[in-house]
Structure 1
Amino acid sequence: MEKHFNSTIPEITHEMLNPEFWIRHSETSSRIIGCYDKIESFNNKSISTNHIKDIFDFKIQYAKNEVVDLILSISGPIKKEMYRNGLKLNEEDIKKLQTNLAIDKIPYNPVVKYGIITYRTVVKSYPTDDKFFDNKEEYVIDRLMESAINICEPVLVFHESYDKEWYFIESYNCKGWVRKKYLAIGNKNDIEEYTKSEDFLIVTGRRIYTNYNPIDKRTSLIPIDMGVKLRLVERNCIPNEVDDMDVLASYVIYLPVRNEKNGKLEFVKTLIPICADVKVGFLHYTEENIIKQSFKFLGERYGWGGDFFSRDCSSLVLDVLKTMGVYIPRNTSNQSDENLGIVKKMNGLKVYQKKNFLDWLHPGSILYMKGHVMIYLGKYNEEYYIIHDTIGFYLSCICKTKTGDLKYIKANGVTLTPMSIAYTTSGQNYIDALIASKIFI
C-alpha cells in the first residue's frame, strides 16, 4: 500500500494513517474517561444548562409569536450580495423565499407535533434546496446550511412551509427547515420509547447501509451514519425471517419509516448484517476509542454543515462522541463554551506555554481554535499532531519556522496535520491559535 501513498504534508508518513500507530506511540489509554452514570450526569447537566435539549420536555402548545420568533431566529434577513447558480440574488428571489416561510399561516395557538427523521437529510435556514454562496466561484459553504440530521432523530415539528414541502423542526442540538418527505409524524410516547430504549445498536462505522430489500423498498439500502441508535427487536418478538431473509446472520431492529399516504410514522422490522460496523450498546468512553472512531472518517470529503452527504469539523467530533453516549452541541462556538465539560483555557498563553501544555495533554482530547475544532493525537518526534475535518490550511515552506511563503493545502476533508508548521488563513500558527482544550465529562 505504501507505494501508492503520496504525502502532500511534511512529517506525515503512511504508517501514521493507522490509528494503531497513535495508540502505540502516544501512550493512548484504554482507561474509562467516564462510566455510564457519569456520562448520563454530563448529558443531564448539558440539558439543564441549555447546551442541548430534551425535546420530550418541551411544551406542545405555543403562542403564535413564540413560533414566529423561533422561525425568524433561523430564517433571518438574506443579503442580496449572495449568489445562486452563479447569479446575484435579487429582490424577487428573496421575496419568494420569505413567502415560503408562510409566517402569516401560523395559527393563533399552534400545536407542535412530534416526528422522527426517516432518512438522513440537511437542515436549512430557509425552506429551499437552493444553495446560496458569498461569491460566484464558491461551491462549498452554502450560507443556508444549518446542519445535517440523521435517521432515527426525534424532532419537534412547529410549522409547514407555504409550498407544503418543508417542516420547521427542532432537535436536541439544531433547528431549521427539513424536507417533509424525510420525516414521519408520530405519537410522542412511541417516539420517546424508541429513542430512549436501553436495547439498541449503536452505529460505530462511518456509515452503514441496510440490506437491499426487494420486498419493502422503504427499508432498502438506507444509509445510517455513525452515532445513530437503532432499537433492537425484543428477543421474544424476533421472527425466523424478515422479508424472505433468514435472521441468523443479522440483528433485527425497528426502523422508522414514513407512510407515504398520510406521512405517519411506522416502525418496520429490518435486518442489519452481523458484519456491519455496529455494537450492542455504547462503546466505552476512552481515549483509544475516540482516536479509533475519528480515523474511520480519514479521507472523507469536507461538508459544511453536513452538506455533500458528509460532515464538518464539529459534526465529526459530535458523531465520534455519540458512539460513546456523549451528546454535545452542534456548532464549534457552542461546543467550546467554557461552562461545558472540563476546560483548559489557553487564551493569553505564549506558544512555549501551549507546547508545554500539549506535552502533558492526553491524546483524544478536543482542541479548539476560533471557529475550528480538532482531535489531539499526541506528540511524535517532537511534533504535535491532530486529526480534523477542514477545508484547508497553510504550511510553512521551511518546517518549524514561517520562513518563506506559505503553501496552501486544499484539504477539503478529514486529514492529519502537524501543528508546528500549520497556519490559519489569517497567518497564525496552529499552536499559537489554540484557545482551549476540552474533555466532555
Structure 2
Amino acid sequence: MRGFLALRYAFAGGLLLLISGLSSAATEHFTSDIPLLKVEHLSPEYWLAKQPNAAELLLTPSQIVQQNAKTFAQQAEMTPIADIPLQFSRAELLKVIEQVSAIPQSPRFFADGKPLQENDWAPIQQQVNRAGVAENTSTQFALVTKRSALLAMPTTLRVFNDSMSLDLNRLQETALFVGEPVAVLHQSANGHWSLVQNYHYSGWVATEALALAPRQQVLAYVEQAPFLVVTGARAFSNYVPNQPQISELQLDMGTRLPLLSAAAVGHNLYGQNPHASYIVQLPTRNAKGQLQLVPALLARSQDVHIGYLPYSTEHIVRQAFKYLGQRYGWGYDYNGVDCTGFLVDIFRTFGLLMPRNSGQQGYGEFGQNVRFTEQSSHNTKLQAIKRAQIGDFIYRPGHVMLYLGESAGEPFVIHAVFDLAYVNAAGEFYRGTLNSVSVTPLAPLYLSAEQSYLDRIYAIKSLR
C-alpha cells in the first residue's frame, strides 16, 4: 500500500509539474504589442476575483422593465414597435427616407480609391424610390428570419471614406437578428429591399429576410413565454434535411425565442428525438412573404439560458469575454460586432435595451452619468474611472468601452476596437492594429500622435 501511495503521489506530483510547466510555457509563449497586457488579463476569472460581490443582483426583472421604459422615454431615437404609427403621410415618409438615405456630404470612395460621382449615386438613389411614396402609406410589420445587414441605402455596394479603410463600409449601419420585430415602411423600386424601423434604428434590409404578419402577431411572438435567450456569442439550430430556413441557423447573443414543449410537437421532430434539445419556435418566410412559425431544435449543449440571465457583474464580465478575440465588424459587418453592438448584445441577454450608436448612448440621459468637459484634467478623469464599477461604460467620441477594473493601479477595458496606438518606452509614437474584441489598458492608448484616449473621454455611464 505504501508503495502504491508513493507511486500515486509521484504521479500526482509529476502531473502538477507538467500542468505548471504547461502554464509557464503558455505564459512565456504569450507576446503582445499591447502595453501592460499580461496573459492573465485575458481571463474573466482574473477580473471577477477582484469583485467580492460579483454575483449580487444589480437590478431585478421588474426594475429592468422600469429601466427600459425610462430609456425609451429619455432617448428620442428609440421607439417601441407597439408605438410606431400605423400610417405615414408622404411628407413623413420622405423625411424618414432623407434621414436614412441622403447622399453623404463628405466624399465617398470605391475600393480602388476612385471617388463616387453624382452618376454613381444615381442608380442607388433610384432604388430608394421616392417617386413610389404614396400620399398615405400603411405600415406593415414583420419578424426577421435570419441575421441581416441594415444599410443606409438599398445596395450591396461597399463605399469608404477618405481614410480608405476597406474594413469600414460607410453604408453599413447595423444588423437585424432572428426573431426581431420590425415595422416595414417602404420598398425599393425593384422590391428587393425594404426600409424598416426596429426599436432603435431605421435602414434598408433585404426583403427576403422578412416575414410579414399583423402587428398583434408580431408582438405576441416577442412577448411569448417561456422563452430561451442565446447567451453565447452565437448558437446554431440543429441540422434539418431539406429545410434550409431552419437548418443550422445562426442565432446571435441576446436573441430571444419562444420555447415549445415535446407535448406540442411529439417525440420525433424532423427525424430527431427532441429530448436532448430545446424546442424553439422560429419565424420563417413562406412563398408569399408571409410569416410561418415553425418548431426547431437547439441542442442543450449550445450556450443558451431559459429566460434572461440574472443581471450581475459576474454575468456582465462573462458575457463580454465570450466575444474576446472575435474580429471587429463595423455595423456588425464580417459577422462580427462593433463597439456599441458589443454592448447592445451583452445587455440584451439581461433584457436591457439601449440606443444603437455610441453618441446616442454617451450623450443620452439613460442610466447614471458622469460627464467631463474639455477642461477636465487627465487626473480628474482617471480618478472618476477608478471610482467606476466593473461593467460601466466609458465613452470617447465614436467609441465606447466596458470597464474591467484595475491591474497594478492601471484601469483596463474590454472593447470591440479597430485601431491601436500609443507612445512606446522609447518615446516613439507606435501605430498597430487590434481589429477585434480586445482587452487593453486605458491610459496609454492614443488616437493620434497628438491626442490620447484620456484627452477625448467625455462620459462614464452606469446601468445599476
TM-score by length of 1: 0.95
What is the alpha-carbon distance in structure 2 between the residues aligned to residue 81 and residue 338 of structure 1?
Answer: 29
What is the alpha-carbon distance in structure 1 between the residues aligned to residue 47 and residue 144 of structure 2?
Answer: 36
Indicate the residue corresponding to 1:372 in structure 2.
399
Shift in Å at residue 269 of structure 1?
0.2
Query: What letter matches 1:271 in structure 2?
Result: L
Indicate the residue corresponding to 2:456 in structure 1.
433
Indicate the residue corresponding to 2:3 in structure 1.
none
Instruction: Report whether the alignment pairs 1:94 with 2:116.
Output: no
What is the alpha-carbon distance in structure 1 between the residues aligned to residue 41 and residue 334 of structure 2?
Answer: 27
Instruction: Report whether the alignment pairs 1:5 with 2:30.
Output: yes
CA offsets 1:335-379 (integer angstroms, 9 cap, x no match): 113411111113343222222222322111111112110000001
SS in 2 for 1:421: coil
- Distance 1:19-1:147 versus aligned 2 partners, 3 A rule: same
Instruction: Report whether the alignment pairs 1:415 with 2:461.
Output: no
Greater fraction helix: 2
Indicate the residue corresponding to 2:331 in structure 1.
305
Query: What letter matches 2:44 in structure 1?
Result: P
Alignment of 1:21-420 (within 5 A): 21-27=46-52, 29-49=54-74, 50-79=76-105, 81-86=107-112, 87-135=114-162, 137-234=164-261, 236-259=263-286, 261-347=287-373, 348-398=375-425, 404-420=427-443
What is the alpha-carbon distance in structure 2 between the residues aligned to residue 203 and residue 112 of structure 1?
Answer: 30
- Distance 1:426-1:329 versus aligned 2 partners, 3 A rule: farther
- Distance 1:310-1:380 versus aligned 2 partners, 3 A rule: same
SS in 1 for 2:295: strand
Query: What letter matches 1:435 in structure 2?
Result: Y
CA offsets 1:317-341 (integer angstroms, 9 cap, x no match): 1110110110000000011134111
Give percent identity, aligned residues only.
29
Query: Given that residues 200 and 281 in structure 1 are in contact (C-alpha distance below 8 angstroms), is that contact kept between their aligned partners in structure 2?
Result: yes
What is the alpha-carbon distance in structure 2 between the residues aligned to residue 379 and residue 90 of structure 1?
Answer: 50
- Distance 1:426-1:312 versus aligned 2 partners, 3 A rule: farther
Query: Given that residues 25 and 380 in structure 1 are in contact (C-alpha distance below 8 angstroms), is that contact kept between their aligned partners in structure 2?
Result: no
CA offsets 1:232-270 (integer angstroms, 9 cap, x no match): 1156424212111101100000001111x2111111100
Shift in Å at residue 106 of structure 1?
1.3
SS in 1 for 2:32: coil
Query: Given that residues 80 and 90 in structure 1 are in contact (C-alpha distance below 8 angstroms), is that contact kept between their aligned partners in structure 2?
Result: no
- Distance 1:144-1:24 versus aligned 2 partners, 3 A rule: same
SS in 2 for 1:288: helix
What is the alpha-carbon distance in structure 1 between the residues aligned to residue 213 and residue 159 of structure 2?
Answer: 33
What is the alpha-carbon distance in structure 1 between the residues aligned to residue 353 and residue 321 of structure 2?
Answer: 19
SS in 1 for 2:216: helix
What is the alpha-carbon distance in structure 1 between the residues aligned to residue 253 and residue 69 of structure 2?
Answer: 22
The number of residue pairs the alignment matches comes to: 436
Show structure 1 runs of 5+ residues with no match: none
Query: What letter matches 2:54 in structure 1?
Result: S
Query: What letter matches 1:13 in structure 2?
Result: K
Shift in Å at residue 428 of structure 1?
2.6
SS in 1 for 2:57: coil
Q: Once superposed, what is the RMSD of the aligned Cα atoms?
A: 1.7
- Distance 1:27-1:407 versus aligned 2 partners, 3 A rule: farther
What is the alpha-carbon distance in structure 2 between the residues aligned to residue 279 and residue 81 of structure 1?
Answer: 46
- Distance 1:114-1:426 versus aligned 2 partners, 3 A rule: farther
Query: What letter matches 2:430 in structure 1?
Result: K
What is the alpha-carbon distance in structure 2 between the residues aligned to residue 280 and residue 339 of structure 1?
Answer: 31
SS in 2 for 1:410: strand
**Bigger shift: residues 334-343 or 116-125:** 334-343
Query: Given that residues 262 and 279 in structure 2 are in contact (C-alpha distance below 8 angstroms), is that contact kept between their aligned partners in structure 1?
Result: no
What is the alpha-carbon distance in structure 1 between the residues aligned to residue 227 and residue 198 of structure 2?
Answer: 20
Indicate the residue corresponding to 2:11 in structure 1.
none
Shift in Å at residue 25 of structure 1?
3.0
Query: Given that residues 339 and 417 in structure 2 are in contact (C-alpha distance below 8 angstroms), is that contact kept between their aligned partners in structure 1?
Result: yes
SS in 2 for 1:358: helix
What is the alpha-carbon distance in structure 1 between the residues aligned to residue 393 and residue 334 of structure 2?
Answer: 25
Point out the structure with max Rg over C-alpha: 2
Shift in Å at residue 135 of structure 1?
4.0
Query: Given that residues 346 and 436 in structure 1 are in contact (C-alpha distance below 8 angstroms), is that contact kept between their aligned partners in structure 2?
Result: yes
Query: Given that residues 51 and 328 in structure 1 are in contact (C-alpha distance below 8 angstroms), is that contact kept between their aligned partners in structure 2?
Result: no
SS in 1 for 2:383: helix
Query: What letter matches 1:365 in structure 2?
Result: D
TM-score by length of 2: 0.90
CA offsets 1:129-176 (integer angstroms, 9 cap, x no match): 001112484302211111111111100001110111000000001101
